[in-house]
Structure 1
Amino acid sequence: MDQHDLGDAATRHTPVLLQRCLDLLAPALAADGSVMVDSTLGMGGHTEGVLRAFPHVRVVGIDRDPQALALAGRRLAPFGDRFTGVHAVYDEIGEVLDGLGIDHVQGVLMDLGVSSLQLDERERGFSYAHDAPLDMRMDASRGQTAADVVNGYDERDLARVLRVYGEERFAARIARSVVRAREKAPLTRTGELVDLVRASIPAATRKTGGHPAKRTFQALRIEVNGELEVLERALPASVEALAVGGRIVVEAYHSLEDRLVKRTLAAGATSSAPPDLPVEPETHAPYLRLVTRGAEEADEAELARNPRAQSVRLRAAERIRPTPDHLRGPQPGRRAA
């Protein structure tokens, strides 16, 4: 990626539901010295919005993608030491904050899913619309690629990935076609995979529901990057990073992500006492308060500005007390309180 590419993050990326995120975070970021973690920095759109809206706030931006960090770092350079970028996966939020000497933060923002940068960089292999190497790694410097998955998994495991992570009805047929094709030669290009998927799905079904390879590509991306496992660790770790009065805002883009977010926030906002107790012990009282009613979606104005907001589901919660000891799991890498 050349220097010109690094300089135009603002024109390449429109942050999803930015104003709504700012409104939800505002009560938590009101005090001087407030710190927010942007767990999925991407090209820095949400962080730039926060730094402009709250001149007294510092943001720590986490991203596993070195390209995204470079791009966002250039965009956010005018804010000086109010922004700190860290190369890490966002389930490492505890270790990141410890490394910066920060005990707790007032805000955490997660904008999940694939970033504009990854979709737009054709050679990364995230898009089914362009022929490219079968890669799909958010951090291209490490880990298995999509080619490793499609050429290395047995038929049953491949079908499971497509069915569970892509919610693909024809997972078994696609897996069978992939295994048959790779016996002749390994699959190395996204175009090859798109053709295989299209041929595996009945013609009548291909006429509706968008691009026939969309669900397969989603499933492979989730598998390659361990997205759901990371999110499952990151959500409780992020809640533990919040000070009392702090808020977490999460934007999810498919039902599997949103289900994990809903479950974590709802658990924190629900009493853990047995239902038949006459009086709720203080140690079982909720430690979160939901500040959105269900999952919020983009309105027509937002969709007109930003088509990538089509599938967003936004949820937010506020920490109202520390997590009771019996509900707080181990926090790998964090200092003892």
Structure 2
Amino acid sequence: MQQRTLGPFTVSAIGLGCMNLSHAYGAPVSAEQGERVLLAALDAGVTLFDTATLYGFGANETLVGRVMKPHRQRFTLASKCGMQGVDVAGDGKLVRVIDGRPATLRQTCEDSLRRLQTDVIDLYYLHRWDKQVPIEDSVGALADLVRAGKIRSIGLSEVSAATLRRAYAVHPIAAVQTEYSLWTRNPEIAVLDACRELGVAFVAFSPVARGYLCGGLTDVSTLDAKDIRRAMPRFAPEAYAVNLALLEGYFAIARQVGCTPAQLALAWLLHRGGHIIPIPGTTSVEHLHDDLGAASVQLDAATLAALDAAINQHNVVGPRYSAQSASEVDTETFA
């Protein structure tokens, strides 16, 4: 496995996003299947594992902690705070809440350390910037956690270049995590270059476009009722039908290169910059090994240009988030 730099760490060029095992795409897999995927990733050379307080409202951290505790020295552990499930109504039902107040972040960290069964989290992200709290205050609280030895480095998720610079003035930022793939080019507006300038790793989540670039999802009506893609405009039936048509040319490029569609999507990201680290997620060991094969795929300039032309911000139909979700992030958007 190729290696890349993430803050003070050297990690595999492709990490594992653990969310899919517990959250967002329908019913979570069994604990046994989650364990198989996590250990298969470790055995295959993956050394960056990414989870969050939000995923499964703590269930994903609990799974990662239980399975990975015996191997803690073999990988870099990333988790996130600032967005979690809260029993707002007092009826036992957890609701997603964004809360970046320093006291909340300190408590969330303690809860994460307990679930992850570790003394320190290597990379701790602010999952969302709480726009009611100055970014300097939230990052200042995370800096206190670094000094206390609770976390080793700080990350930010879904922030703009301007917010990254404000945060970096308070404490060095090891990584910015944002959605990035052929069909989500927002990082190219400014934050990707800002990361390169500041020496910040860029961690790309949803690098295969939430399954779109794998080619297996042809009928969105088959999605689970609780699948988050049902609320995403690009996956609305009319928009998705148009977006599906873009895949014909994309698949032709994959055949020409001699790789799978998922490998092509990940290889494109790896070629976009040495500071980019994609973290695909999966519930399947077979798919995991397919994803990791992208590290050996070589793309020449002509192929990269063909990919850029095939799927981009000009021909994909629909924004990536609903209006409500879009209001919760700080990433730049195209006009």
TM over 0.5: no
**Higher relative contact order, chain-length normalized (CA < 8 Å, sep 6+):** 2
Tell which structure's C-alpha radius of gyration is larger. 1
TM-score by length of 1: 0.31
